[in-house]
Amino acid sequence: MERMRVRTDLALEAKESFEGSDTEVHGVVVEEEYDEERDIRLTRVQIVSERGAREMGKPMGNYLTLEAPGMAAPDEDYHREISRALAFYLKELMGEEKERSILVAGLGNRDVTPDALGPKTVSNLLITRHLIKEYGKGVMGTECSNMVSGIVPGVMAQTGMETSEIIRGIVDQTSPDLLIVIDALAARSTKRLSRTIQLTDTGIQPGSGVGNHRNCLTEESLGIPVIAIGVPTVVEAAAIIYDSQGNCEQMPPHLNGMFVTPKNIDETIKQLSFTLSEALNMAFELSGEA
C-alpha cells in the first residue's frame, strides 16, 4: 500500500496511517488513557491476530505508547513523574516475578548523538549482578534483589557483527530471565520526536531503529522474553519529502541513509536517557521509589 511506503518504528503511527480510511483494522485493539494533571497520554495498541500483524506491518503483541510534550525539557521534577509512569507500565509488561536476572542492552551508536539513547541509558543504570553474585542478595539493602546486567554492543560498522549475534552469545553465557533492549527509533513524523516512548513485549524486528538493525531480538529467537523500549529521535529523510509531496515518486536516491533530527538533540538525549534509566531503576526496585 502506498501509504505504508515510509517506514515507522511506532505502532501508534502505523495505526494512524489507517485513519481517515473508513475501514477498521481487524485484529488491532486500541485503548487510550489520559492523565490530565501530568499531561501524559498512554495508548495501548494490541495486535491480536496474524491479519492485524500483516496490516500493521508489526508482529502480534502489546505496544504501549506514552506521550508527554514536556519530556525533553530540563525540568527534573516532571521527568521523575514520567519515570514513575514509565516504571509502572514497564512492570505491567515485566509481570510479577521477583528476584530475576535481567539483561539490559543499549542498542545504537554512542558516537552518533540521536542514536546514543540506548548506550547512555545503560551507562546510568544500577548494575547489580556482579554484586549479588559476590556478596549475596542483601547487598543492595532493599527487599527485592533483581540481578541487573547491562551491555552496549555497538553497531555493525563498529563491530563487524550483527547486534543479535553479540546479544545471543551473552544471553547463552549468562542466562538472564528477561532481556530489555533500549533503542532510538525512526518516527514517521517530526511531531513524535522526543516526546513519545514506546514499550513492547515483541522485542526488536529486522530493519528497526535508527541504524536499521537487520536481525531479530525476540523471544522466539532468544528463548527468553524480550521487552523493547524505544524513543523516536529521528525521521528518515524520505519521510519528510513524502509528507510534503503526498507521494514518493520523485524521491531522490541520495536521501537514502539520511535522517532528520533537531539541532538540540544532545540535550534531548541527555534528558531522555536519565528518564529511562531512572524508570528502569524504579521498575527493578533498586531505587528508593516505585
250 binds a copy of itself (CB under 8 A): yes
251 contact partners, CB below 8 Å, separation of at least 6: 238, 241, 242
Identified binder of a copy of itself from the candidate list 65, 121, 128, 198, rule CB under 8 A? 128
Least distance in angstroms from the C-beta of 260 to a copy of itself: 5
By the 8 A CB rule, do 233 and 108 touch? no
CA separation for the pair 226, 249 (Å, rounded): 37
CA separation for the pair 269, 182 (Å, rounded): 13
Q: Comparing C-alpha atoms, which of 140, 119, 109 is closest to residue 284?
A: 140
Q: State which of positions 145-174 bind a copy of itself (CB under 8 A).
A: 147-154, 156-162, 165-166, 168-174
Q: State which of positions 35-54 bind a copy of itself (CB under 8 A).
A: none
CA separation for the pair 195, 40 (Å, rounded): 10
Which residue's CB is nearer to a copy of itself, number 30 or number 251?
A: 251
By the 8 A CB rule, do 237 and 260 touch? yes
| Candidates 16-24, 28-36, 123-131, 196-204; binding stretch for a copy of itself (CB under 8 A) | 123-131
DSSP letter, residue 204: B
Least distance in angstroms from the C-beta of 120 to a copy of itself: 11
258 binds a copy of itself (CB under 8 A): yes
- Rounded (10°) CA dihedral 166, 218, 220, 11: -160
Least distance in angstroms from the C-beta of 47 to a copy of itself: 28
Cell 507521494 sits at which residue?
Answer: 247
CA separation for the pair 141, 172 (Å, rounded): 29
Identified binder of a copy of itself from the candidate list 76, 96, 97, 143, rule CB under 8 A? 76
What single letter denotes the amino acid at residue 86? Answer: L
156 contact partners, CB below 8 Å, separation of at least 6: 162, 163, 211, 214
Q: State which of positions 190-249 bind a copy of itself (CB under 8 A).
A: 190-191, 210-211, 237, 240-241, 243-245
Least distance in angstroms from the C-beta of 88 to a copy of itself: 19
Least distance in angstroms from the C-beta of 170 to a copy of itself: 5
Least distance in angstroms from the C-beta of 97 to a copy of itself: 19
267 binds a copy of itself (CB under 8 A): yes
123 binds a copy of itself (CB under 8 A): yes
**Contact footprint for a copy of itself (CB under 8 A):** 74, 76-77, 109, 111-113, 115, 122-123, 126-131, 147-154, 156-162, 165-166, 168-174, 190-191, 210-211, 237, 240-241, 243-245, 250-252, 254-255, 257-267, 287-288
